[in-house]
Every structure is written in C-alpha cells, then in structure tokens.
Amino acid sequence: MATRRLELHPIDQGSAALLAPVFAKEEVWRYPYGRAFTPAETEAFVAGQVEHWETLGFGLWTVLELGSPVAVGYVGLSVPTFLPEVLPAVEVGWRLDPQVWGRGYATEGALAALQGGFDVLGLDRVISLPQTDNLPSVRVAERIGMRCDRTLVAPATPKRGPVEVAVMAISRGEWTRRPESGRSAF
Ligand SMILES: CC(C)(COP(=O)(O)OP(=O)(O)OC[C@H]1O[C@@H](n2cnc3c(N)ncnc32)[C@H](O)[C@@H]1OP(=O)(O)O)[C@@H](O)C(=O)NCCC(=O)NCCS
C-alpha cells in the first residue's frame, strides 16, 4: 500500500534486514529501553510481528519512502499485550529513523493505519500509548485526532523499568467527523 509519500509493507521475515539498521540507533528505542536493539532483538521483534499478522490479519507495516529500497521504520496497528488493563484494544504505533523525523511521516502513516482500523477492520476505537515524556510521540497522537483519556504505569519487564504512558484514544465517531483538510494520508 502507498500513501502520498510512503510505501507501507506488512512486516514479514525479510523485514528484519531492512529494520536492523534503523533499530541499531539509540534514539529509535530510547523510549522505552534507553538503548538500541541488537540484531537478535530485531529478529525477535520481527518474528513477533509476523505472528501477529498471521493470527490477527493486521499488524505493523515497514515504512519506506516512495521509490526507495531503504526502510525508515515502522507504523501500524497492534494489540498492546504489554498493558493488560487496557485490553481489549488495538493500538496505533510508530517508530522512525531520526534521519526522517520532522517531515510528518509518522502522522501520514498513522492516518493510513487509522483508516485501516476503522474502515477495513471496523474497529470502534483505536488507542495509542506514548510514554508521557515522549513529547514528539504524544504530539503525533494529538495530530491524528486522539485525546488523552488517562495515564497509567506499564509494569516493569525484564528489559526495562516501569514506564508512565498516556492512554490516547480516538473513537469511530470522532474519526468519521474529523476535519479532512490537511489530515489525509493519501
Ligand atoms: C515519535 C516520532 C515517530 C515522531 O516522528 P515525526 O513524524 O518525525 O514527528 P515530528 O518530528 O514531526 O514531530 C511531531 C510533533 O512533535 C513535536 N516535537 C518534536 N520534537 C519535540 C520535542 N523534543 N518536544 C516537544 N515537541 C516536539 C513537533 O514539533 C511536531 O509537532 P507539530 O506537528 O505540532 O509541529 C519519532 O520522533 C520517533 O520515531 N521517535 C522514536 C521512536 C518512538 O519513540 N516511537 C514512539 C513510541 S510510543
């Protein structure tokens, strides 16, 4: 699938090689891990996302600039199993190479994901769970029409301590009524 400036490909086994150079940058995984991914962590992440696509029929896309063979990150929908108290839920998420930050790609890709969630999957609500101190990510959620419902603490995992996240959300009604101008991904 393509948006105005991006190609979006469902993550598959081949995505690990494309995403590894992006995930090897500390800024990309600063939230929530404070460090870059090793190649093995990228492989494990991709394997999990391939399984997500296979079991649920939707998931994260690898993002490429139109006509470029190089991946610049991911965007898309996933079930936020790391935070059981918000389930059942579908989250829209984004993670891009710092080289392309500031161009609105996260917003463009996220709008395509929301369109898929509401118009194709028929969801009633889509959430996003940025860390409260990750201001660019909170801002992307606001730009796609989400509002903060509440904040929660995601419990520690073996890879990180507890993190405070904003539960940002947009309902089907809010999506349908959104002002179109300047917000389309296509
Ligand atoms: C979050 C992310 C995808 C946003 O990328 P992007 O599309 O390039 O977004 P921008 O850089 O254009 O910034 C988006 C908004 O945040 C604002 N912003 C950027 N840096 C900021 C900062 N340090 N403090 C406050 N606001 C900031 C921008 O001004 C912009 O708001 P605007 O549209 O009102 O001008 C990118 O920063 C990223 O990949 N970060 C690492 C991965 C990550 O943390 N993902 C989120 C996990 S929840």
pLDDT of residue 178: 84
Q: What is the CA(171)–ligand 1 centre distance, in A?
A: 23
From atom 20 of ligand 1, which residue's Cα is the shortest distance away? 136
Q: How far is CA 65 from CA 43, 96, 97, in A?
A: 22, 11, 12
pLDDT of residue 183: 58
pLDDT of residue 186: 74
Ligand 1: list residues with CB < 6 Å.
28, 31, 93-96, 101-107, 130, 134-137, 139-140, 143
CATH fold of 6-177, please?
A: Aminopeptidase (3.40.630)
SS3 label, residue 27: helix
Q: What is the CA(141)–ligand 1 centre distance, in A?
A: 10
More confident residue, 184 or 162: 162
Rounded-to-integer distance, Cα 90 and Cα 167, Å: 12
Does residue 74 contact residue 59 with C-beta atoms inside 8 Å?
A: no
pLDDT of residue 181: 46
- pLDDT, tens digit (0-9, with 9 covering 90-100), for 89-136: 999 999 999 999 999 999 999 999 999 999 999 999 999 999 999 999
| Closest atom of ligand 1 to CA, residue 96 | 39
pTM of the model: 0.94
Element of type H or E holding 103: none
Q: What is the CA(139)–ligand 1 centre distance, in A?
A: 6
CA atoms within 13 A on the CB side of 50: 11
Percent share of the chain, pLDDT over 90? 95
Domain range annotation of the chain: 6-177
pLDDT of residue 57: 97
On the 0-12 / 13-18 / 19+ scale of CB atoms within 10 A, 25 is: middle
- pLDDT surpasses 70 at 77: yes
From atom 45 of ligand 1, which residue's Cα is the shortest distance away? 95
Average pLDDT in the chain: 96
- pLDDT surpasses 70 at 60: yes
From atom 8 of ligand 1, which residue's Cα is the shortest distance away? 101
Q: What is the CA(54)–ligand 1 centre distance, in A?
A: 30
Strands (E), 79-162: 91-96, 125-128, 147-154
Rounded-to-integer distance, Cα 52 and Cα 43, Å: 14
For the chain, what is the largest distance between any 2 Cα atoms, rounded to a whole number of angstroms? 44
Tokens 């909170």 locate to 138
SS3 label, residue 5: coil
